[in-house]
Structure 1
Amino acid sequence: MSVNYIEPKLTIELASQCVKCSACRSVCPTYSVVKEERSSPRGRLALAEMVVSGEMPLTEDVVAQWNQCAMCRRCEWICPNEVEYKEIMFRARNLGKEKAKRDIFKEVVFKGLAMMGNPLTKIGMKFAPSLLSAYGKALGKEVPEYNSVYIDVGIPKYAKLMPKPSAKPFGLRGKEVKTEKPKGRLLFFTGCMIDAFHGKTGESVLKLMEKAGYDVVVPKDIRCCGAPHLYSGEIEAFNKLMEHNKKEIDKYEFDAIVVACPTCGGALKEEYHYPVKDFAEILREEGFYTFKGNGEKVTFHFPCHSYTAMKTNPNVFRDVLQNVKDVSYVEGEEAMMCCGFAGYFSVANYEVASELQKRKVEDIKKTEATYVLSDCPGCVLNIADGMYKHDYYKNIKVMHLAEYLAERLIEEGE
């Protein structure tokens, strides 16, 4: 097993890449809300450069500016000089950990993610559906339209619409799908949210890949990919997760890893150095478009990490949806703008995240679609949460693209 461990040091050579052209400000979600230079990618990079060069001391305020970034990486997507923003920022955050205000809730969340898939979490998740249902019934916050419960403990930033955990958490682990004449063999890296909450999404991916002609295997003992830890500067935790996952993944033979979460896919591609494809990429490559709707209008939210971290061409999703029979595809004006989730960002930067979420909901409303689809479980969660908070959840269904397509497969003979 070969592991390329990530080094935490932020060098002046890396920190000084930005030429301060300001192109990044036009696409930065946080800058679009805050409208302050230091809240732009250019501003954050300037702070990093000054700290590393010794021109400015590392202060709590500097660290707060770094931590206000959603790490969507849209700045990289538009940067004419290919500045390695992610590489600079996670090292800057690692450098600033001792100056950051302690966030106990964040520590619990990140430790929980690191434990995902171990025996303790598997046992705990078995009881989660009944506990969440009991909570919803007691407080009258169940949302049957989305099979979810709205959790509200009286603190706005922690109030979230949460999907009920999967009836069989981690139920896909170790599963294999075989076809008669396979075109190839894929390893499906499910990811934390699919394992814990969106089991149907995972089952849909397996079904679609089987119909497209591929054998698929799901590794038994994977953990969180570590992307949330890496992006937050928790480099040591990321390295441990990567080491564990590579040891497990390398037990299997496969041609490529298939994902239904672009954040996982980005980490597996950029840090783990595996060949990675989004399930929709495979459908498009195979020209597999045997789907039929019921005359509905659909729109699509493009997850930031799909075209920044994974570098998936947005036309992949457009082509797949435009080839679904009896479906009208309409795209929002801000379909490629960040929805405001970005993992823990939506909690730590609640005001900014809420404004981005509101904009996303308003943009989707304008499309008059009856379905909003996305390729990221986190985005699906956040958009559904936004629809509920802005009282639009009864008008529109929020789904992962894989689930939507699997439900509309045209079987042989139809």
Structure 2
Amino acid sequence: MMVEIPLELAQKCVKCGLCKSVCPTYPYIEEERGFARGRLALAEMVLKGELPLTEEVALQWDQCAMCRRCEWICPNDVHYKEILVKAKELQNQTLGQSLVKKAGLKGLELMQSKVGRKLVPLAGKVFKFIPKDEIKVFFPTGAKKYMPKFKEDAFELRGKVFDVKNPKATLLFFTGCMIDMFQTSTGKNVIKLLNRAGYTVIVPEDIRCCGAPHYYSGDTKTFESLKEHNLKEFEKYSFDAFVVACPTCGGALSEDYGLNKKVYDLVELIQDLEFKGDGKRTTFHVPCHSYSAMKVDPKTFYTALKKVEGDTFVKAEKDQSCCGFAGLFSITNPQISDQVQKEKIEDLSKTQADVVLSACPGCVLNLKDGCIKHKTGQKVMHIADYLAERLKQD
């Protein structure tokens, strides 16, 4: 079946070029194809039959990090994500998908399957004997990254209800792949914070990957399958709203699932809590999908951090710039990703912060990798972990 991209969506772009100013990849490609305007123009030309869909054309789309900062700044409300997803879907049907992408996306499916949920904790028992928190992994694309280890308590939160007396509301916590398997303490701290804020929290038993990595890669068939499974799982529970600690998951749920319930970022719900620090200097990296997909005001994070008594919050100059991770993008485009990451780490280093915080598990992974590689000595944490450690006692 041939994929159809509504031509009017692509033609909505008036070619003003404002997206060039915020595109993380353009400074390292420095050609028209290196930012949204050029990538949209290629999609339009392919649609009109003016340009054949070749590997060279497809490469321009694959070099997009899908941060969607172009949408965030676009004065004409161009739906860049939808156009690129359709373009990549056409690319997959015409040229096929790379083995690296296939393996990465299939891995997310398998690890979240019933068998995977048994095998991952077993792998965690083996990895716990490795003393370092991160392991240097070499990928066939030439990418080298310090990756977190599988955790022994992976998926431990699944199928549980964390009650409080007289709750403000009941929330369904969509944990996400990274928290489920690699950053399990973050999941526990999300629940700790929400319980203290007066919310009952449900963690569904059998949710799978949200499907955002598949959708952004043009694998819409798998995305729809994962979405259908998750929607059926949601129906088993009675709750008032969704909560996430990963903005990519949150963006998928709020934009692409057709839900009739609100999707909140954790930090939006804990503004009334009080925290006491220990004299640390902190800074914050705003995940791209927090504001481009979930539409969360970055000030929400700043407000929470400024309330930590005794600690000092310092805003980085480029706090809303991309960190260069973007999931599989950092594996398939290691040179561009590393350059974007380096710029981000240099900016964070200028703050002289002791602790670098973010609200995205993927960003936390990539910032840790960058701080290790560039030897900044800065500690990187998810904001949920940082705030949970500093909760004032009742």
Structure 2-normalised TM-score? 0.96
Q: Does 1:172 align with 2:167?
A: no
Q: Select which of 218, 232, 237 maps to 1:247.
A: 232
Q: Does 1:33 align with 2:17?
A: no
1:36-51, aligned counterparts within 5 Å?
Answer: 36-51=31-46
Q: Does 1:207 align with 2:202?
A: no
Q: Cα distance, 1:307 vs. partner? A: 0.3
Question: Equivalents in 2 of 1:57, 1:364: separation in Å?
Answer: 42
Q: In the alignment, what sits opposite 1:321?
A: 305
Q: Cα distance, 1:37 vs. partner? A: 0.8
1:200-239, aligned counterparts within 5 Å?
Answer: 200-239=185-224
Q: In the alignment, what sits opposite 1:4?
A: none
AA in 1 matched with 2:368: A
Q: Does 1:96 align with 2:81?
A: no
Q: Does 1:71 align with 2:66?
A: yes
Q: In the alignment, what sits opposite 1:367?
A: 351
AA in 2 matched with 1:194: I
RMSD of equivalent CA atoms: 1.6
AA in 2 matched with 1:25: K
Q: In the alignment, what sits opposite 1:350?
A: 334
Question: Equivalents in 1 of 2:46, 2:180: separation in Å?
Answer: 40
Q: Cα distance, 1:100 vs. partner? A: 4.2
SS of alignment partner, residue 372 of structure 1: strand
Question: Equivalents in 1 of 2:245, 2:101: separation in Å?
Answer: 25
SS of alignment partner, residue 187 of structure 1: strand
Q: Select which of 335, 350, 370 maps to 2:319.
A: 335
1:71-220, aligned counterparts within 5 Å?
Answer: 71-100=66-95, 102-132=97-127, 143=132, 147-152=133-138, 157-220=142-205
SS of alignment partner, residue 120 of structure 2: helix
Q: In the alignment, what sits opposite 2:288?
A: 304
Q: In the alignment, what sits opposite 2:380?
A: 398
Q: How many percent of aligned residue pairs carry the same amino acid?
A: 51
Contact 1:303 1:336 in 2 (8 A): yes
Q: In the alignment, what sits opposite 1:382?
A: 366
Residues 124-176 of structure 1: CA distance to partner in whole angstroms, max 9, x if unpaired? 21232244456x5xxxxx53xxx2222247x6734221112222111110111
Contact 2:141 2:331 in 1 (8 A): no
Question: Equivalents in 1 of 2:107, 2:138: separation in Å?
Answer: 20
1:260-299, aligned counterparts within 5 Å?
Answer: 260-274=245-259, 275-284=262-271, 287-288=272-273, 290-299=274-283
Question: Equivalents in 1 of 2:135, 2:341: separation in Å?
Answer: 19
5+ residue gaps, structure 2: none
Q: Cα distance, 1:301 vs. partner? A: 0.4
250-259 vs 74-83, greater mean Cα deviation? 250-259
Q: How many residues align?
A: 391
SS of alignment partner, residue 399 of structure 1: strand
Question: Equivalents in 2 of 1:133, 1:23: separation in Å?
Answer: 48
Structure 1-normalised TM-score? 0.91
Contact 2:123 2:152 in 1 (8 A): no
SS of alignment partner, residue 346 of structure 1: helix
Contact 1:178 1:215 in 2 (8 A): yes
SS of alignment partner, residue 242 of structure 2: strand
SS of alignment partner, residue 275 of structure 2: coil
SS of alignment partner, residue 343 of structure 1: coil
Contact 2:125 2:152 in 1 (8 A): no
Residues 301-359 of structure 1: CA distance to partner in whole angstroms, max 9, x if unpaired? 00000000000011100100011111100011111100000000001111100001111
Q: Select which of 37, 52, 55 maps to 2:50.
A: 55
5+ residue gaps, structure 1: 1-6, 137-141
SS of alignment partner, residue 29 of structure 1: coil
